[in-house]
C-alpha cells in the first residue's frame, strides 16, 4: 500500500501542491489527470523524493519514506519514469534496461533483460540499437521497460504519451496494462491523455492548481461531465 497524506510540495518559495491525500493499494491503478502546470509531475517527484521540498506523510507498506533518498525508495519497490526519459544515448537499448538491475527492489526478484524484452516486443527488435538512434516513442518504451526490470511494487509514469504517435501510444497502453495485471504492479500515472489513462487505470484523481478537485472511479468521472468541462477542457 502506497499512502500519501496531507502532502505539501514546494519549489523554493512556490507552493505547488496543497494538502494532497490519496492511497494506492497493491496492484491498483490510479491516474493523476489535469491540464499542464497543475502539479501532476510534482506529485510523482514528491513520492520519489526527486526534486520538490515536501511536507506531509508518504508511506509504503506502513514505512515512512520522507527522510529516505530516492535510491532507497527504488530499492523499497518504487520506480519512476520521468517525463524526459533519460535514456543514455551511447548505450544500447539492452544496456539501458540492464542498468536498472542496480536498483533492484527488496520486495521482489528482478527480471532479466531477456524477460523484459519479451514484455516489449518492439524493443526486442531494437535491443542492439543505441539510445541516440531511437525515436521519441522508442525511447519512452525503453524508459518504461527499464523501470519495470527491478520488479517494483509501484510504477510511477510521468506523461508517457506526450508527443508520441498514436500507434506507439496504443502499443504502450496495451503493454503497461498487461504488465500491471500480470505482475500485480501498482500504477500511478500522471497523464493529460484521458483515453490512455482510462485504459491503464481503474481510478483517477483530477488536479487543479495543485489541489485535488475530484477523486473516484472512471464511472463516477463519467457521471460528472462538469468535472471534465471545468478542469480538463482547454
pLDDT recorded at residue 107: 61
- Strand locations in the chain (E): 2-11, 14-24, 29-33, 53-60, 63-64, 78-81, 154-158, 186-190, 203-208, 211-217
pLDDT tens readout for residues 31-42: 999 988 899 999
pLDDT recorded at residue 232: 84
Please tell me the least confidently modeled range out of 42-56, 61-75, 158-172. Answer: 158-172
Q: Distance between CA 95 and CA 6 in Å, rounded?
A: 39
Mean pLDDT confidence for 133-142 = 89
pLDDT recorded at residue 166: 84
Q: Distance between CA 132 and CA 87 in Å, rounded?
A: 8
pTM of whole model > 0.75? yes
Q: Distance between CA 105 and CA 149 in Å, rounded?
A: 9
Mean pLDDT confidence for 219-224 = 93
Q: Indicate the pLDDT class of residue 105, thresholds 50, 70 and 90.
A: low
| Averaged pLDDT of the chain | 90
pLDDT recorded at residue 104: 67
For 114, counting Cβ atoms within 10 Å of its Cβ (0-12 exposed, 13-18 middle, 19+ buried), the class is: exposed
pLDDT tens readout for residues 186-204: 999 999 889 999 999 999 9
Q: Distance between CA 40 and CA 43 in Å, rounded?
A: 5
pLDDT recorded at residue 183: 81
Strand partners, 168: none
**DSSP state, 107?**
S
Q: Give the domain ranges of the chain.
A: 2-231
Q: Indicate the pLDDT class of residue 137, thresholds 50, 70 and 90.
A: confident
Mean pLDDT confidence for 130-135 = 91
| Phi, psi at 129, each rounded to 5° | -80, 145
* Cβ-Cβ contacts under 8 Å for 138 (sequence gap 6 or more): 93, 122, 123, 126, 168
- Strand locations in 41-118 (E): 53-60, 63-64, 78-81
Name the residue among 124, 15, 8 with its Cα closest to residue 66.
8
pLDDT recorded at residue 80: 92
Contact 43, 50 (CB under 8 A): no
Record: fold of 2-231: Rossmann fold (3.40.50)
Query: For residue 132, what is its C-alpha cell?
Result: 541516440
Q: Indicate the pLDDT class of residue 47, thresholds 50, 70 and 90.
A: very high
Mean pLDDT confidence for 124-150 = 91
Mean pLDDT confidence for 7-23 = 95
Strand partners, 57: 5
pLDDT recorded at residue 51: 87
Amino acid at each position: 500500500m502506497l499512502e500519501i497524506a496531507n502532502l505539501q510540495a514546494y519549489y523554493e518559495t512556490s507552493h505547488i501542491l496543497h494538502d494532497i491525500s490519496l492511497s494506492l493499494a497493491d496492484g491498483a491503478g490510479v491516474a493523476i489527470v489535469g491540464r499542464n502546470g497543475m502539479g501532476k509531475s510534482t506529485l510523482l517527484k514528491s513520492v520519489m523524493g526527486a526534486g520538490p521540498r515536501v511536507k506531509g506523510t508518504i508511506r509504503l507498506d506502513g514505512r515512512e519514506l520522507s527522510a529516505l533518498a530516492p535510491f532507497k525508495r527504488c530499492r523499497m519497490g518504487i520506480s519512476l519514469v520521468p517525463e524526459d526519459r533519460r535514456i543514455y544515448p551511447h548505450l544500447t537499448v539492452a544496456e539501458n534496461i540492464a542498468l536498472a538491475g542496480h536498483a533492484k527492489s527488496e520486495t521482489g526478484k528482478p527480471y532479466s533483460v531477456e524477460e523484459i524484452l519479451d514484455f516489449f516486443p518492439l524493443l526486442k527488435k531494437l535491443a542492439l540499437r543505441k539510445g541516440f538512434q531511437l525515436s521519441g516513442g522508442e525511447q519512452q518504451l525503453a524508459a518504461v521497460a527499464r523501470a519495470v526490470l527491478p520488479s517494483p511494487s509501484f510504477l510511477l509514469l510521468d506523461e508517457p504519451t506526450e508527443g508520441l504517435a498514436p500507434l506507439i501510444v496504443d502499443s504502450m497502453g496495451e503493454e503497461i496494462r498487461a504488465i500491471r495485471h500480470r505482475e500485480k504492479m501498482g500504477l500511478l500515472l500522471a497523464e493529460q491523455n484521458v483515453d490512455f489513462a482510462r485504459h491503464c487505470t481503474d481510478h483517477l484523481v483530477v488536479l487543479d492548481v495543485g489541489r485535488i478537485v475530484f477523486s473516484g472511479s472512471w464511472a463516477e468521472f463519467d457521471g460528472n461531465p462538469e468535472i471534465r468541462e471545468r478542469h480538463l477542457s482547454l
